[in-house]
Chains A and B, each alone.
Chain A
Amino acid sequence: MSPSLANRLTIGFAIAFAVLTGLAVIGVARFLQQRQDFEDATARSYQREIQARNRLVRGERPLAARATIVAQQDQRQVLRDEISSQTRDTALLVGAGLIAGLTGAALLFSGLIASMRRPLEDLVEASGKLAGGDLEARVRIGGLSETATLGGAFNEMAEELQRRAGERDQLDRMRDEFVLTASHELRSPLTSVQGFAELLMLEREKLTAKQTETVEVILDNSRHLVRLLNDLLDLARSDAGRLAIKRVPTEPAALIEEAARTMRAQLDTRGQLLSLEIEPDLPFVEADRDRIRQVLVNLLTNAHEYCPPEATVRVRATHRDSAVEIDVIDNGPGIPQQQMEHIFERFMRGDAGLTQRVGGTGLGLAISKSLIELHGGTIDAEPTPGGGATFRLRLPTGTVPDQETSRAGAEAS
């Protein structure tokens, strides 16, 4: 059992009080005693002098009487000198005692304060570490019982936090594992549904118009399911830090043109135009071609789905501040201000009225953001002047942290 601060303070106060009171009592007693002795001696001296004066008046041995009177006067002078020096000594003694006692008390209390400072400093440091996310932070338990109890409580709290963080990590892993397995298991039946629907479409000349329409609905929905599965898988991988990218030096213009080629037919179905404004001689970027194309296709798909027929979607690429900026600009309905800050969140989609018609999964932008950030870039949205939405992605040029680093970083998190 550690000594308690309260006990030590009580004992310290008691000792200091006793020492100081004792000194004061001894000092006062000594002073009174000396005073009493002085008065007794002085009184005796006066008595002898009076007796001598009486003898002188009676004329008995006048010479001896005179000598006694002088001697007693001298004697009293000596007594007066003595008492004053004794009083000074007592005062000095008591003063020295008081100083010694106070010094002792001061030393005692500063010792107590010092013995608390160390554990408290440890506690402050460990709290800082814990708050900063270092769940291994603990304090050494020792010293006074109060700080030891506090330290013990702190360590228990840290232990609990670490245990919960561990449980949460395990739950996250189980969830990721579940998503990966579910996505895997769902693919086989989906392959059959989509495959047989495609088989029917190969013989569409034998189908009635109503049947063709039915098969198209099946196909649309199975493709939508596949997109959802792919997106969920990407998100699960991203959460697990396993969304890896393979970067190679890439010409931005070629990437944009590929994405445009992929999207043109789809845009054509609604009479929408795609205009590319690519600055000549853009520097190369270190990019995973498939993944950046996925992001561009996602942005173009959004523009296609949210814009009215006949609209023009513009893609503008420029070189600015050691980054290639690619803007996907539309003049559609735009993004309401209150939704702007949430659009990169999962399952966040535009105006609910539109989503009936729009076929996205609500995951595209969240995945795009993860992918662009893996490239060391940024993606933002802002209103297009005059109406519509502009998505801007910035990919750094030149040397960027290589893929091993970004992957290791993701795994560590």
Chain B
Amino acid sequence: MARILVADDSETILLLVRTRLEMEGHEVETAADGQEVLDALRRDPGNPPDILLLDAMMPRKSGMDALRELRAEGVVVPALIVSAHTDGDGDSGADAELGIDGYITKPIDFERLFRRIAELT
């Protein structure tokens, strides 16, 4: 089972995602925005989570911005972006540059999310 860092600015969604992921047997840490994600990874660089699940749009620092900084620091943890947009995959060039491993559209299809997590671990 995986250790997953989930970032979303909505506490309800964090609670929902944490509950579903823990029911699947995953270990979940949460962050309220991109800055908290960075803080968490910098606090213990030797022991990063297995997967990042980041909301694309958050106040202060978005999931995208946080990921950009992490990649610049050499962090290679797989990342899934949760987005409210239904566009599916975004700009493939930017995806490769930021190391985005997939998009999850809101409302979250948890069965699909579990499959993506299984593929990445």
Flag whether B23 is at the interface (Cβ < 8 A). Answer: yes
Chain A residues near B107: list those with CB within 8 A.
187, 190-191, 194-195, 222, 226
CB-nearest residue of chain A relative to B16?
A195
B-chain residues with CB within 8 Å of residue A185 when the two chains form the complex: 84
Residues of B within 8 A of A196 (CB): 16
Chain A contacts of B121 at CB under 8 A? Answer: none
Chain B residues lying within 8 Å of A226, measured Cβ to Cβ, are 107
User: Which residues of chain B from 1 to 28 have a CB within 8 Å of any chain A CB?
Assistant: 10, 12-13, 16-17, 19-20, 23
Contact A202 to B23, CB < 8 A, known contacts A192-B16, A222-B107 = yes
CB pair B110–A198 under 8 Å, yes or no, is: yes
**Interface contact B108-A191, CB-CB below 8 Å:** yes
Q: Chain A 174-199 against B: per-residue CB contact (8 Å), 1 yes, 0 no?
A: 00000000011101111110111011
A37 within 8 A of B: no
The residues of A that contact B16 with a CB separation of less than 8 Å are 191-192, 195-196, 199
Using a CB-CB cutoff of 8 Å, which residues 179-229 of chain A contact chain B?
183-185, 187-192, 194-196, 198-199, 202, 222, 226
Most central of A183, A191, A192, A198 by chain B CB within 10 Å? A191
| CB-contact partner of B106 in A191, A198, A202, A290, under 8 A | A191
A21 at the B interface (CB under 8 A) = no
Q: Which residue of B lies closest to A229 (CB)?
A: B86
Residue from B13, B20, B107, B108 with most neighbouring chain A CB atoms (10 Å): B107
Docked Cα-Cα span, A38 to B23, in Å, equals: 139
Query: Does A230 lie at the interface of the complex (its beta carbon under 8 Å from any beta carbon of B)?
Result: yes
In the bound complex, CA of A196 to CA of B20 (Å): 9
Q: How far is the CA of A191 from the CA of B85 in the complex (A)?
A: 13
Chain A residues with CB under 8 Å of chain B are 183-185, 187-192, 194-196, 198-199, 202, 222, 226, 230, 233, 290
